[in-house]
Amino acid sequence: MSNYNRITLKERVRIEAGIYSGYSFHKIAKDIERSTSSVIREVKRNRIKIKMPYIFGRDCIYASNCAKKNMCDDEYCTRKCRLCEKIDCTKICDRVKNHECSKHLKSPFVCSNCGEKNKRRCIYDKYYYIAERADAKAKKTRSESRKGIRLSQQELQTLDEILSPLIRQGQPLSHICSIHKAEIKVSERSIYNYIDQGELTICNLDLRRKVKYKRRRKKQTEIKCNRFNYRRGRTYEDYLKYLEEHPGTPVVEMDTVRGLRTREHVVLTMMFVENSVMLLILLKDESMEPVIKVFDKLTKELGLKRFRKLFPVVLTDNGRCFKNALELEYTKSGLPRTRVFYCDPQASWQKPHIEKNHEFIRYVIPKGHTFKGYTQKDMTLVANHINSTIRPGLSYKSPYDLVKTEDMKKLLEILGMSPIPAEDICLSPKLLSK
C-alpha cells in the first residue's frame, strides 16, 4: 500500500485503462498498490457527468407527448406546459418522472462498459472516468477546501450566536462542541481558524488554551529527602511497587491550592483517578490538623468500610499539611483506613491528573486571589461546575457521567455535590461574583 498518499495522475491513467479493459476494481487496486475501496471512491468522486439534451430541455420521461395545460393557473394560456418558455413544468408538475439509470450506481460506476446494444439511443445522463479530468477535479476540490470560510453568512452568524456567549461564560470549546454537535457543523479546528481570521465576535484572548505553557526547566540537582521518617516505605517507588502487587486498586490524588503566598485559607483537593471527580474542601490554614479532621469526618460519615473502598490509596506531595502519615492512614482507635504515598520532591508530574485539573479552579479563582471570604458552599459550587464539564479525554463525557458505584454516590450526597446542566456551566470569575 502507498501509506495514504494522494492518488497521482499516473495512477489515474492506469485506473482509466483498467476500467476500459473491463478489469475488476480489485485487480486495478492490486496493480497500483492501493486498497479496493480507495479506487472505488476515486472513480465515484471524480468521474464526470454529461447531461443529455432532453426534449424541450425537460428532465421528464413524459416530455415528448405530455398534453398538460394551465398548471400555472393562467386561464388565458392555451399552450402545452412542456412548450412554455417562462415556467419549468418539471418543478410544478405532480406527474414528473426524471430520467434515471440505475446502472451507474453499480460497478464500474461509469458508462464505458455498458452492455446496452443501442448506446446512441440511450436517453440517460452519461458518466465517464477520464484521468486528466479526474486529476484536475481532485486538485480543484482540494484547493477550494483550503480557501476561507465555507459557511454562508447566516450559518456563520448562527455559529457565533452559539459559541461566543458560552466561551465568555468559561466553557471549554470541546464541551460546547459536544453539547451542540447537532447545530455546529464544523470541526473544532475550523472554529479556531475562524477565530484567527476574525470571523467571530470572540477573539484569541477569550481562549485560555491559546496561551502557550512555559517551557519546563530541567532540575539541576536531585533533591533527596527519603531520610525523613514520614516517607519511609511511602516513596513514589513504593507506590509503583504497591500498584504492581495490587493491580486495579483505585487511586486518589491529593493536593492543596493556595490563594495568596500565605498559609491562610487554602483548598484541599482530592481527585479520583478512576472517574476524574474532584473534591474541593476549604481549610482555614495549611497545617496538618485540618487535613486530619477532614479524613476523620469522612470516615465517620461514610463508615470505615466504605471509606476504605473509596480511598484505598492516596498519592500526595511533600506539603507541610500531609506529613503526619500515621494520622492519615489510621483512625483514632488505631484501625487502618488507607495507604498514603508521597511523590518525589519537585516532581508534580507524578500526580498529573490533579495538577492538570487545578487549571479549572484557576479559571474561576485566578492566581493571586485569596480564598478568604469564600465558604465551603462556594467551593462545592465550583466543584460541581468542574465535574459537570465534558472532556475529550473522558470520551466526551463529564466526570459525573462516570460515577457508577453506590459508594461514590453516597460520598457526593454527603458533600452536597450534584451535576450542573450543560448549558449552565460557568468556568469564569463570574461564577462567584458577589
Whether residue 418 is predicted with pLDDT greater than 60 in this model: the reply is yes
Q: Which residue has the cell 452536597?
A: 416
Identify whether the C-beta of residue 134 lies closer than 8 Å to the C-beta of residue 42: yes
Q: What is the mean pLDDT of the chain?
A: 85
Percentage of the chain modeled with pLDDT above 70: 90
| pLDDT (tens digit per residue) in 176-188 | 988 888 888 888 8
- Beta bridge pairs of residue 258: 266
Q: pTM value?
A: 0.63
According to DSSP, the β-strands at 313-316 and 339-342 are: parallel
Highest average pLDDT, of 124-128, 282-286, 301-305, comes from 301-305
| pLDDT (tens digit per residue) in 211-253 | 555 555 655 544 455 456 788 889 999 999 999 999 999 999 9
- Beta bridge pairs of residue 339: 313
Q: Calculate mean pLDDT across residues 276-282.
A: 94
Whether residue 3 is predicted with pLDDT greater than 60 in this model: the reply is no
Helix, strand counts (H, E) of the chain? 14, 7
Identify whether the C-beta of residue 365 lies closer than 8 Å to the C-beta of residue 259: yes
So what's the pLDDT on residue 223? 47
- Beta bridge pairs of residue 254: 270
| pLDDT (tens digit per residue) in 343-383 | 998 888 899 999 999 999 999 998 888 888 899 999 999 99
Identify whether the C-beta of residue 259 lies closer than 8 Å to the C-beta of residue 284: no
Whether residue 1 is predicted with pLDDT greater than 50 in this model: the reply is no
